Copies of this chain bind each other. A is one copy, B any other.
Amino acid sequence: MKRTELVENIFRKGSFLCVGLDPDIKKIPQHLLANDGNGEHPVLRFNKAIIDATAPYCVAYKPNLAFYEALGADGFGVLDATVRYIRANYPDQFIIADAKRGDIGNTAAMYARSLYEAMDFDAVTLAPYMGEDSVRPFLEYKGKWAVILALTSNKSASDFELVKDLHDVPMYERVLRRSRHWGSAVDTMYVVGATQAEHLAHIREIVPRHFLLVPGVGAQGGSLADVARYGMIDECGLLVNSSRGIIYASSAEDFAEAAGKAAAEMAAEMKALLPVE
């Protein structure tokens, strides 16, 4: 998906919500585990119901690959079917593989083949530790995006991401400064945790036009208002992700309805924060 299309979807829907599809088979409503005869994997049934309920209120979905791999041999089939379901029914959704891949060039090319050819993701999250080689193969696909980890939402982000170099520049800032030249604002995004709102104004000085994928609102404690205050630009430039707060809004038979309601509430908050076009 092109940047212009993503921006248009955000303003048309009045939402910059990304729904994280991280379905733990131990946490999804237990009635889904009973075989209802159609042979569909319970996690796929869960995903379809969540997607149908939330699609009007979000512009992106972000399946986290760990949750599919944990299903064993079925996992990639369920993931692939989920992506196909979104593409077929909600073609205006941006689909991000939250994979945090990062490896040498020939391996990175295989991950790109998996996520951009075997499956039809729009974007992949990437860990920058190994440098440019590990990101470059993902940028070679036209119309696809690299979403590079900058400053993450977890506590131990301070272990390495915030370490300052000889010029007092923290590692995450070096990642931004270097990698913004590998691609551009039409094919590269950055992950910045909502719990790092105090750094967002500074990040905007370095990457004024790039989209930021922001996890950590909700379960991890980040504030949507702060993220918008320091991170939003005229074309929005934000995708704010919520996973557990939406997909586990209820663990009963009304789980999908509850997820839709939670997504609608976030979208309403977001609409009020979007700039007037």
Give me the interface of A with B, judged by CB distance under 8 Å. Answer: 22, 24, 64, 66-67, 69-73, 75-77, 80, 98, 100-105, 107-108, 110-111, 113-115, 118-119, 127-134, 149, 152-161, 163-166, 168, 171, 174-175, 178
A69 / chain B contacts, CB cutoff of 8 Å: 76, 110-111, 114-115, 118
Knowing A66-B107, A134-B156, A166-B168 are in contact, say whether A102-B127 is a contact too (CB < 8 A): yes
Known: A24-B110, A130-B156, A163-B171. 7 other contacts (CB 8 A): A64-B103, A66-B110, A75-B76, A104-B154, A128-B129, A129-B161, A130-B161
* Most B Cβ at <10 Å: residue of A104, A110, A149, A168: A104
A163 / chain B contacts, CB cutoff of 8 Å: 165, 171, 174
How far does the alpha carbon of A79 sit from the alpha carbon of B209 in the complex, in Å?
41
This chain's copy number in the assembly: 2
Knowing A76-B75, A154-B105, A154-B133 are in contact, say whether A114-B70 is a contact too (CB < 8 A): yes
Whether the Cβ atoms of A104 and B174 lie closer than 8 Å is no
Residue of B98, B105, B110 touching A67 (CB-CB under 8 A)? B110
Whether the Cβ atoms of B166 and A154 lie closer than 8 Å is no
A101 / chain B contacts, CB cutoff of 8 Å: 66, 100
* Most B Cβ at <10 Å: residue of A67, A127, A175: A127
Knowing A64-B107, A70-B111, A110-B67 are in contact, say whether A155-B127 is a contact too (CB < 8 A): no
Whether the Cβ atoms of B171 and A159 lie closer than 8 Å is no
How far does the alpha carbon of A105 sit from the alpha carbon of B101 in the complex, in Å?
16
A75 / chain B contacts, CB cutoff of 8 Å: 76, 114
How far does the alpha carbon of A26 sit from the alpha carbon of B195 in the complex, in Å?
44
Chain B nearest CB, measured from A180 CB (Å): 13
Residue of B66, B67, B159 touching A131 (CB-CB under 8 A)? B159
Whether the Cβ atoms of B70 and A73 lie closer than 8 Å is no
A132 / chain B contacts, CB cutoff of 8 Å: 156, 159
A-B contact pairs, 5 of them (CB 8 A): A24-B110, A66-B103, A69-B110, A100-B101, A134-B156
User: Which residue of B has the minimal Cβ distance to A152?
Assistant: B130
Residue of B24, B100, B161 touching A127 (CB-CB under 8 A)? B100
Chain B nearest CB, measured from A225 CB (Å): 23
Whether the Cβ atoms of A160 and B128 lie closer than 8 Å is yes
A103 / chain B contacts, CB cutoff of 8 Å: 64, 66, 98, 100
Knowing A131-B154, A159-B132, A165-B164 are in contact, say whether A70-B110 is a contact too (CB < 8 A): yes
* Most B Cβ at <10 Å: residue of A105, A114, A159: A159
Residue of B67, B107, B157, B175 touching A160 (CB-CB under 8 A)? B175
User: Which residue of B has the minimal Cβ distance to A163?
Assistant: B165
